[in-house]
Structure formats: C-alpha cells, structure tokens
C-alpha cells in the first residue's frame, strides 16, 4: 500500500461505495486515500479467508439495470465475474417452496386451502381503508395481506435482522423490496419475471468466482496501482 504526503481526496470506509468512489477518483488522477477500520476491505460484502477457505458474510449477488455500473464491474474483474443461476427457496411448514414463486409449485406445496386463505387476506387488505404505515409489519400487511406476512415475511425478516417487524420502519421495507407487490409476485409466478422487472425476483445474477470480496479486493489493488492509498 502506498502513502501519500498530500492526498487530494479522503474517502471514509472501504466498503463497496467507498472503494468505488476511490477507484473513480483514482482514474481521474485525484490520488485518493481510502480509510478503513477493519483489517480487510469490502465491508459487509467482504469475503473472509479462514484456513485456506473463503466465506461470504452474505450472498451479495451482483445485478444492475445500469449499463455504466455493469461496465465498471466487468472492467475490474473481467472473466472472473461469472453468470450464475439463482437457487432460492422458502422453508415453510416442512417444505421448500421455490423463490421466485412458481404457480404449480405453490399449489402443490401450499395447497388450495392455504392459497385461498392468503388470497382472502390480500383481498381484505386491498379493500380496507388505507391507514398510515409506520412499521414494516404495516407496510407488508397492507400490500400482501396479514396471512402472507405471517407465513413468509415476519419469520425471515426477524431471523435475518434480529429486530421485531413492529420496530422496523415502513420506509425500510419500501427500500428493501421495492417494486414487489402481490400483483407482481402473482404475475411472476404465472408468467415469469420478464425483463427482470422486479430485482428481488431475478432468476440469474453475476458473482465473482472467489466471492463478492474478490471485487473489492481487486478494486483496492487498482486504487493503489493508480497512485491512491487504502
């Protein structure tokens, strides 16, 4: 790593945002210095190395509708950025349900009765007068119905984030699952997510060969090679 006596730009944090900013600044000849408190780069999207094995802290798949961002990723990793099919499933009531949802898979594993309950709950929520949405629970229940919230959204969200859904803000939910509604989920289950209209329903994505941390480790090396410092 290089040390610069008079850095022109200081970047706080060597996560994806900080490193991307540092990389673009370095390309522009701005000699950035990126500061990170952890011993490795990548933030929550880093890949840990233990006993010769690489472990991702999370999936952090690479998907974007921006050609500019896609070009930057390819510029950094080239052929190391692989296209991979998605395999995600929801574990509910002793069964694995495909996600993105599939119409026939839902009927087979949930059954007509449970699907009817979910549809009835959604219909009731859609007809009910809308009230102010303060929590994630409010936000999901009004868009999908209470039944689907209890079946899928509550347990997963509280397991991953460790916070009750009644304490998460509605704005957080709108940002996390933007564009997803009962209608779009049903449409995707019947006809597929054509054109990758909804990001949370994509069926394939790009992933670095050695995990997401490979992107940020390589970008960090590029910054140093261009005269910056990490």
The full set of domain ranges for the chain reads: 9-85+209-225, 88-202
What local confidence, expressed as pLDDT, does residue 186 receive? 57
What local confidence, expressed as pLDDT, does residue 2 receive? 53
What local confidence, expressed as pLDDT, does residue 60 receive? 85
What local confidence, expressed as pLDDT, does residue 198 receive? 47
What local confidence, expressed as pLDDT, does residue 184 receive? 58
Instruction: Name the CATH topology of 9-85+209-225.
Output: FAD/NAD(P)-binding domain (3.50.50)
What local confidence, expressed as pLDDT, does residue 192 receive? 53
- DSSP symbols for the chain: ----SS-SEEEE--SHHHHHHHHHHHHTT--EEEE-SSSSSSGGG-EEEETTEEEESS---B--S-HHHHHHHHHHHGGGEEEEE--EEEEETTEEEEES--HHHHHHHHHHHHHHHHHHHHHHHHHSPP----BHHHHHHHHH-HHHIIIIIHHHHHHHH-S-TTTSBHHHHHHHTTT--HHHHHHHHHH--GGG-SGGG-SEEEEETT-THHHHHHHHHHHHHTT-B-
What local confidence, expressed as pLDDT, does residue 25 receive? 96
What local confidence, expressed as pLDDT, does residue 88 receive? 78
What local confidence, expressed as pLDDT, does residue 82 receive? 94
What local confidence, expressed as pLDDT, does residue 68 receive? 94
Ranges under pLDDT 50 in the chain: 190-191, 193, 196, 198-199
């Amino acid at each position: 790593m290089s040390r610069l006596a008079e850095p022109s730009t200081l970047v706080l944090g060597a996560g994806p945002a900080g490193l991307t900013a540092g990389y673009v600044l370095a390309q522009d000849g701005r000699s950035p210095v990126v500061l990170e408190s952890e011993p490795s780069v990548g933030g929550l999207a880093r890949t840990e190395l233990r006993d010769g094995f690489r472990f991702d802290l999370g999936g952090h798949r690479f998907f974007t509708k921006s050609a500019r961002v896609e070009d930057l990723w390819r510029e950094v990793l080239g052929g190391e950025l692989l296209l991979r099919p998605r395999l995600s499933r929801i574990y509910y009531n002793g069964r694995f349900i495909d996600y993105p949802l599939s119409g026939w898979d839902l009927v087979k594993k949930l059954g007509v009765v449970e699907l009817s309950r979910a549809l009835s709950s959604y219909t009731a929520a859609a007809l009910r007068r809308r009230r102010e949405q303060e929590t994630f629970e409010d936000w999901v229940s009004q868009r999908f119905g209470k039944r689907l919230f209890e079946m899928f959204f509550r347990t997963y969200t509280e397991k991953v984030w460790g916070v009750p859904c009644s304490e998460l803000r509605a704005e957080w939910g709108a940002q996390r699952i933007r564009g997803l509604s009962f209608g779009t989920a049903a449409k995707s289950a019947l006809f597929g997510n054509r054109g990758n209209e909804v990001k949370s329903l994509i069926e394939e994505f790009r992933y670095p060969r050695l995990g997401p941390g490979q992107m940020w480790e390589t970008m960090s090396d590029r910054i140093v090679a261009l005269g910056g410092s990490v």
